[in-house]
Amino acid sequence: MSNTPLKIGIAGLGTVGIGVIKILSEQSSIISARCGREVNVVAISAQDHTKERGFDLSNYVWHSDPLAMATNENIDVVVEVIGGSSGVAKDFIEIAIKNQKHVVTANKALIAGAGLDLARSAELAGKTIGIEAAVAGGIPIVKAIREGLSGIGIHQLFGILNGTCNYILSEMRETGRDFDEVLREAQDLGYAEADPTFDIDGIDTAHKLAILSSIAFGCEINFESVHVEGIRHISPLDIQFAKDLGYRIKLLGMAKKTKIGIQQRVHPCMVPISTPIAHVEGVYNAVVTEGSFVGQTMYEGRGAGEGPTATAIVADIIDIALARNTNLFLLPTDKLEKMHVAPMSSYRGSYYARFMVIDKTGVFATIANALNDNGVSMESVLQRGRSESEAVPVVLTTHETDEASLIRALEAIERSKVVVEPPRFIKIESF
């Protein structure tokens, strides 16, 4: 065993930072055996030194300024769990690299935006930036692509990458409650942030998807080109109809190599109940990759929280301790191709559409004519309930079409006044 311990500095002492300290301390004998050297936390940076955190802080050098810790010569690896896509977290990582430290971070927003620049800086300095914790928490998906799948070409990946959304959609389905009520409950339980925008509007999923597609397809990260829709508009009625039609609604991130480029999209979709991903429920995440030779592989686990995220951070630290240094996006930055983007307008798929109509003669005909006029072919139609005075739902599914044609048809139906509210539509995925 080497006499030289690996010395760690942790910036950010929320649940994940504390989780890293716990794992490194409680698992110290197995970790040092696996690394052939000790791995010790020597310094911590957080705002409040006086807050009770359940362990003795006097064992660590305390930096109230993380940027000062980034220059501490007694540290080999810094762990960034401050968060935020710019500002202190970015400055901290840049300064740490300039000061010859390896970096491990859980910060998907930062990597999605500034990852390429950070990867270049790390390469120049000969240092590693480990990002396993940035995507799907405790699921070792970056390692799976880097190691187990390193010899094959991945042409598609998709997954449930946000536990908050998956929890909300699962609860809505199980209890029939509406989005706002379940979101409030998720906030009370600590699953959803006080400001849940990034989660429920699909942005957090898009950050993770952009990172995965760069790694899987060997191209420069391109977060801006991800098509993003969130789950705010999903209603209990759509969830019930999905069930009746043999589907579940999931917020998926999907990236695919197509003939014209890489398509990256995040949106709620109906997935067949017969597929494994339909059964990933609650706060769980899952990722499916599809590649040559191996076909589909699926990974499932907890995507957030103290233990899962800290597990991923510690795994990156162990790689660094073993000098298994890697490029942030697996390939060196000068080998990453520019991403050719397949625009969303090139996407074709099947759709579910719901109309709230006053139940009178000619409504179906109006809907069918508008679809026909725009070249959209219906697959099935369903009406539930009968009321002369109140709106009733009519739902239909379409054969494969492009979204622009469907939207033109739905706009024509809305203009015709047979509906009492704007039609809703959700993409159907068959995989």
> Which positions touch ligand HSE (CB under 6 A)?
162-164, 199, 204, 303-304
CB of 165 to ligand HSE, least distance (A): 7
Pairing of strands 391-398, 348-358: antiparallel
d(CA 81, CA 212): 20
- Of 157 and 304, CB closest to ligand HSE: 304
Q: How far is the CB of 189 from ligand HSE (least distance, A)?
A: 12
In the DSSP assignment, the letter for residue 376 is P
For ligand HSE, the closer CB: 70 or 168: 168
| Closer residue to ligand HSE (CB): 81 or 96 | 81
Q: Which of 11, 15, 17 shows the shortest CA–CA distance to 88?
A: 11
Provide the minimum distance between the beta carbon of 86 and ligand HSE in the complex, in angstroms, as a whole number. 17
- Other C-beta atoms closer than 10 Å to the C-beta of 266 total 29
Shortest reach from residue 134's CB to ligand HSE, in Å: 8
Q: Which is nearer to ligand HSE, 193 or 402 (CB)?
A: 193
Catalytic (active site) residue 208:
yes
What is the length of the chain?
431
Nearer to ligand HSE, 45 or 162 (CB): 162
CB of 10 to ligand HSE, least distance (A): 18
Q: Provide the β-strand partners of residue 395.
A: 354, 382
Kindly name the residue from 208, 250, 257, 427 that is annotated as catalytic. 208
SS3 165: helix
Containing 216, the helix (H) or strand (E) segment is: helix 203-217
Contacting residues for 102 by C-beta, under 8 A, at least 6 apart: 76, 77, 78, 127, 128, 129, 130, 320, 325
DSSP codes joined into one string, 102-134: EEEE--HHHHHHHHHHHHHHHHHHT--EE-GGG
* Least distance from ligand HSE to the Cβ atom of residue 163, Å: 4
Residues 170 and 323 sit within 8 Å (Cβ to Cβ): no
Pairwise CA distance, residues 310 & 413, whole Å = 51
| Min CB(285)–ligand HSE separation in Å | 7
Element (H, E) at 45: strand 39-45
CB-based contacts of 428: which residues, under 8 Å, 6+ apart? Answer: 247, 269, 270, 349, 350, 351, 352, 397
DSSP structural state of residue 57: G
User: Which secondary structure element, helix H or strand E, spans residue 183, and what is its range?
Assistant: helix 179-188
Cβ proximity to ligand HSE, 138 vs 163, nearer residue: 163
Nearer to ligand HSE, 128 or 162 (CB): 162
- Enumerate the active-site residues: 208
